[in-house]
Structure 1
Amino acid sequence: MSTIVYWICTPFAWLVRLFYNLTGSYGVSLILFTLVIKLILLPFQMKSKKSMVRMNRMSGKMQEIQKKYANNRVKMNEEMQKFYEEEGVNPMSGCLWSFLPLPILMALYYIIREPIVYFMNFGGRAAGLEVVEAARQVIENAGITLTSNAAYEQIEISQIINSQFPDFIAQHSGWVNVNYTFLGVDLNSIPTGSFGMLKEGITWGAVGLLLIPIISAAMQLLVMKISMKGQANSSAAAANKSMLLMMPLFSLWIGFSLPAALGVYWIAQSMFSAIQEFFMGKFYNKKLEEEEEARYQARQADRQKRMEEGRKRQEEIRQQGVQKQSLKEKRKAAQEAKAKKAQKAATSTTEAGRVGDRPYARGRSYKADRYDESETK
């Protein structure tokens, strides 16, 4: 497990060390590290933000479905799923990427609390632990007692070696003489220790250490306020309102219980997130308005097209009716003409010449008594 953690943390440690070598400031290197991570994650977070903004804009329709099927949960879920598919959204996609800063926070925590193994990187965890053991032996041989607990022992060892044992540094070429002070505050200190420092006297180092968790919580509150702006009253909004309280409290806990360097990272992370949320919210609200307007115009054009097609079909049906009526009239006229012709034929011959329907079967001049017996005699 420790090997897996080492290889996960190594790229992050390399990035922090790169910025430290460039700037010479541990605090600035953490801020630049945060900025780069935000830029790397930006495409994923943009997708997440767009989904969240779209969900917020659709909340009215979702509430209608929930009210309509309030007494039928199965039907309501079916209609909601159908609605999501029609709109092309995933209700969970907006939450997934918002949790990414937490694993990075854990990786950075290992880097900060074990600077010799991760930050200095002597070629592997085992090699780093050998250097830690060698440094511990040098310190103990000098009669110095380590006071930190095991979790933060490497921080104390590195500080003692940096200040008192330059020969040890010269013997280990990978050693980095890190200055952990940023704006007069020791970033390797834990802010809970600021209360004891203040008892001895008010100094900027103690006050700054105390302010880091408070600023961290305030910045996280600002992020939640900006991200929730414009949300309608929905179940998602209610969940976010609970997060409005939880995340600042979580930030306060991180700030006070972990080294101040993590607090600086969390402040930078919250600051960049607030800026990101503000501009992305404006951008995607405008973009989705344009998309909705385009869809509305497309629906109107489609509706107009269907209406035109309907009118054409009605006109065709009317024309077909007229043609059928005209054909019917022609047939009737033909039948009447035929009947008149037959009637005329019937009146133009003698009945003596008729055989059934054949008016001239015996000829026009047929006379039944033409050869009467009295004439032949």
Structure 2
Amino acid sequence: MDKRTLLAVALSIVVISAFYLIQGTFFPPKPKTATETVAEQPGGQQVISESPIQADPVLIQQAAPDFQETGIEAGPASEQRITINTGLATVVLSNAGGDVVSYKLNEHNDREDFVEMVLPGTKESHAFTVALGGINAQPLSSFFNVTRVSNYIVEFYRDFAVSDGGQVRLTKRFDFRPDEYMFELTVTLDGGRTLSSLNFSAGNGSAAYTLGSAPQFGPRFEKLDQRYEYRRYYTFTDGKFKTIKVNNNNPSLINPGFAWGAVAGKYFALIAMPLTNQVEMAFSTRSEPGIPDSSRLYLIRPAVQNGSRVSDVYRFYLGPKSQNALGVYDTAANSFKLRDTQLIKVANTSGFLGPLESLLKWLLMLFYRIIPNYGAAIILLTILVKAIMFPLTKKGSESTLRMQSLSPKIKEIQDKYKDNPQKMNAEMGELYKKEGYNPLSGCLPMIIQLPIFFAMYNLFNTHFDLRGAMFIPGWIPDLSLPESIWTMPFKVPLLGWSNLRVLPFLYVGSQLLYGKVTQTPDQQGNAQMKMMLYVMPIMFFFILYDVPSGLLLYWIMSNVLTMVQQLTINKYLAKKKSEAAAANPTPIIAPHPKKKKKRG
């Protein structure tokens, strides 16, 4: 296998590997006032469901004998739900545990409805639950008493008996703000004079309480493939932003003292900011019945050994992972007067190519302002990038042509010194030096373009503004998702595909043509290069079948433009070669006339 083939194979492996490693891994008017939506029974009781919820599991203090949780006073007989509209989000709370059961983002669509951040399901899918005890304790689900403090503030409370004869009141106070993705939750445990400590043992864990997120947040997804749909876990402690790796079997525990922690998807994020340094945090991806791909965040209040009351305030951000939305919490342009929180780091997925990606993003937005269609903006950006790279592409083609002219001499050296590799390399070096040729000059342009390719890949895979951006109505309604022209009534065996897509086929066609156009004459008879010409596009077809359509649009356009450039370069080089031949014609040596023999 020659050096060019080895290089092509190596670059192909790099590109394929990068696809698996790059993460990162693509409206109605705001309501003016908050609203409450409930159904009412006679007598003014606000009720949605008449079905009672089962009693909570065992709650014991200090490892006392079994004791069923019991309310000190009769609470509501059935579920009550309260709806709060902040303008940016519509939140539904339930008195069953005092939890959030729905959190829809009013300015972001998901299929036929707004993005639902709390995926619907059973009581196990509730968000911002409280369990008395450690991380394995079951969240409380009894019916709490409800107080509507204001349009945006709701308070849930209930008294519980504990095993040693005491009682404790749990209060959850939600404080939402108009036009904010952030809200405040205050959790209070008060044992009054009946308890000397707050240390509950339940679910093989000991703590005062555990505050838990929903097992998963939206938008809806089929599976987490960790490339185009994923969850990442972050902490910010002492000015340092860290990515946390979470084991599938055991939660990852974060010690007290962190500023905030986050669970982030491709476009949306949950961020928790405790206003106390007394809580621990844990991330968990443990499988749960009926809930695939769990991604929980827990805040654990350690046991209070000398005291009967604790009140902790938490701030939660639940919304888009965009720089505009997160940036307001760095400039005090928010109702909480927060500044320099660095929440915006959650939106930064650029890695070491950040400056290059930022430049490409700026150019993309510039083209979008000229033509307000992100598909057209992607095409214009691709044209600009290929135009800037044209001198390098031309240089690489000229180097390839030069290499072809040296091929006979190289072949002669290889045949002459085939049994002496060291001598062969020395002679090749002398040849390159004599001819003024650098063998890496043909590869350098390709290597230089790789960072641009990776930056473009990451940009089109994670840029928030591409979410919901339409290119061609009826065909590509969302550049952040794979396009589809037909949903099949079955799934393709082994692959699991259920949608017929056009862009992957266009990509394969463009890649095959690209390979044909860029192939050099000496490669056309090479069996290995022929295999790569056909095998690589087919391999990438399966890899790229479900990628966002914006990515494939860029790649197809890049292939088309590269073919146009290569044809132009080929024409230019052919003309240059003919001109050189005309200027320096090869001398024609006429045969000498045969001398006539003298007749003797």
Q: Tell me the TM-score range normalised by the shorter chain.
A: 0.5 to 0.7
Q: Contact 2:486 / 2:501 at 8 angstroms: preserved in 1?
A: no
Q: Shift of the alpha carbon at 1:44?
A: 1.3
Partner of 2:360: 12
Aligned partner of 1:282 among 561, 571, 587:
571
Tell me the alpha carbon deviations over residues 34-85 of structure 1, each in whole angstroms, 9 at most, x when there is no partner.
1100111111111111001111232222212211222221121112111112
- The answer to whether residue 331 in structure 2 is matched with residue 41 in structure 1 is no
| Identity fraction in percent | 31
Map 1:76-155 → 2, pairs under 5 A: 76-116=424-464
Residues 382 and 557 in structure 2, CA contact (< 8 A), matched pair in contact too: yes
Q: Deviations over 1:135-165 (max 9, x none)?
A: xxxxxxxxxxxxxxxxxxxx6xx54xxxxxx
- Residue in 2 that maps onto 1:213: 504
The range that moved more, 20-29 or 284-293, is 284-293
Residues 1:10 and 1:59: Cα distance change in structure 2 (over 3 Å) = same
Contact persistence 1:254–1:263 (CA under 8 A): no
SS of structure 1 residue aligned to 2:437: coil
Assess if the C-alpha contact under 8 Å between 2:400 and 2:442 holds in 1. yes
| Partner in structure 1 of residue 489 of structure 2 | 199
For 1:252, the aligned partner's letter is F
Counterpart position of 1:188: 479
Aligned to 1:22: 370
Q: Are residues 2 and 268 of structure 1, via their aligned partners in 2, closer, same or farther at CA, if it must alter by over 3 Å?
A: closer
Q: 1:9·1:111 contact (CA, 8 Å) conserved in 2?
A: yes
d(CA) in 2 for partners of 1:207, 1:264: 21
**Structure 1 runs not aligned, ≥5 long:** 120-154, 160-177, 201-205, 301-377
1:261 is displaced (CA, Å) by 0.7
Distance between the aligned counterparts of 1:51 and 1:265, measured in 2?
Answer: 27
Mark the CA change 1:98 to 1:232 in structure 2 (over 3 Å): closer, same or farther. same
Asked whether the equivalents of residues 190 and 256 of structure 1 are also in contact (C-alpha less than 8 Å), the reply is no
**For the Cα contact (< 8 Å) 2:368–2:374, is it kept in 1?**
yes
SS at match of 1:24: coil
Query: 1:264 corresponds to which letter in structure 2?
Result: L
Structure (1/2) with the larger helix percentage: 1
Question: Take 2:550 and 2:397, find their aligned partners in 1: how far apart are those partners?
Answer: 28
Matching of residues 236-255 of structure 1 within 5 Å? 240-249=529-538, 251-253=540-542, 255=544
Structure 1 residue 105, shift from structure 2 partner: 3.1
1:171-220 CA deviation, whole Å, 9 max, x = no partner? xxxxxxx43546731343544x74972339xxxxx999712111112211
Secondary structure at 1:283 match in 2? helix
Q: Which amino acid aligns with 2:489?
A: K
Q: Which has the higher contact order (CA 8 A, sep 6+)?
A: 1
Alignment-mate amino acid for residue 413 of structure 2: I
The one-letter amino acid paired with 2:380 is L
Could you tell me which of 204, 226, 239 is aligned with 2:517? 226
- TM-score w.r.t. structure 2 length? 0.35
Task: Report the 3-state secondary structure (helix = DSSP H, G, I; strand = E; otherwise coil) of the residue aligned with 1:74.
Answer: helix
Q: Structure 2: how far apart are the matches of 1:183 and 1:63? A: 56
Query: CA offset at residue 242 of structure 1?
Result: 4.9
Q: Distance in 1 between matches of 2:541 and 2:449?
A: 16
Query: In 2, Cα distance between the equivalents of 1:74 and 1:294?
Result: 39
Change beyond 3 A, Cα 1:73–1:209:
same
Normalized against structure 1, the TM-score is what? 0.53
CA shift digits 1:278-314 (9 cap, x unpaired): 12123224324544675777xx8xxxxxxxxxxxxxx
Tell me if the contact between 1:219 and 1:271 (Cα under 8 Å) persists in the aligned partners: yes
Matches within 5 A, 1:288-327: 288=577, 290-291=579-580
Structure 2 CA distance for aligned equivalents of residues 49 and 289 of structure 1: 17
2:559 is paired with a residue whose SS is helix
Letter in 2 for 1:34: T
Question: In angstroms, what is the RMSD of aligned CA positions?
Answer: 3.4
Whether the 8 Å CA contact 2:461–2:480 is kept in 1: the answer is: no
Change (3 A) 1:99 1:258: farther
Whether the 8 Å contact between 1:51 and 1:94 is mirrored in structure 2 is yes
Q: Decide whether the 8 Å contact of 1:189 with 1:259 is kept in 2.
A: yes
Paired residue total:
233
98-107 or 68-77, which moves further after superposition?
A: 98-107
Give the Cα–Cα distance (whole angstroms) in 2 for the partners of residues 239 and 57 of structure 1: 22
Match of 1:264 among 536, 553, 577: 553
For residues 197 and 90 of structure 1, the distance between their equivalents in structure 2, rounded to whole angstroms, comes to 53
Distance 1:114 1:233 in 2: 38
- The 1:79/1:259 distance shift into structure 2, 3 A limit, reads same
Q: Quick one: structure 1 residues 24 and 195, their matched pair in 2 at CA, closer, same or farther if it must change by over 3 Å? A: closer
- Select the structure of larger CA radius of gyration: 1
Cα distance in 2 for residues equivalent to 1:222 and 1:185:
24
Matches of 2:582 and 2:431, distance apart in 1:
19
Structure 2 contact 475–485 (Cα < 8 Å) conserved: no
Distance (Å, rounded) in 1 between the aligned partners of 2:480 and 2:415: 54
Query: Partner letter of residue 32 of structure 1?
Result: L
Deviation string 1:234-278 (CA, Å, 9 cap, x unpaired) is: 9xx676445423542354245314211110100000001111111
More strand per residue: 2
Decide whether aligned partners of structure 1 residues 179 and 257 sit closer, same or farther in structure 2, where only a CA change above 3 A counts.
closer
Which residue matches 1:332? none
Runs of 4+ deviating beyond 6 Å: 206-209
CA contact (8 A) 1:27 1:182 kept: no
Partner of 1:179: 470
Aligned to 1:70: 418
Distance 1:104 1:254 in 2: 20
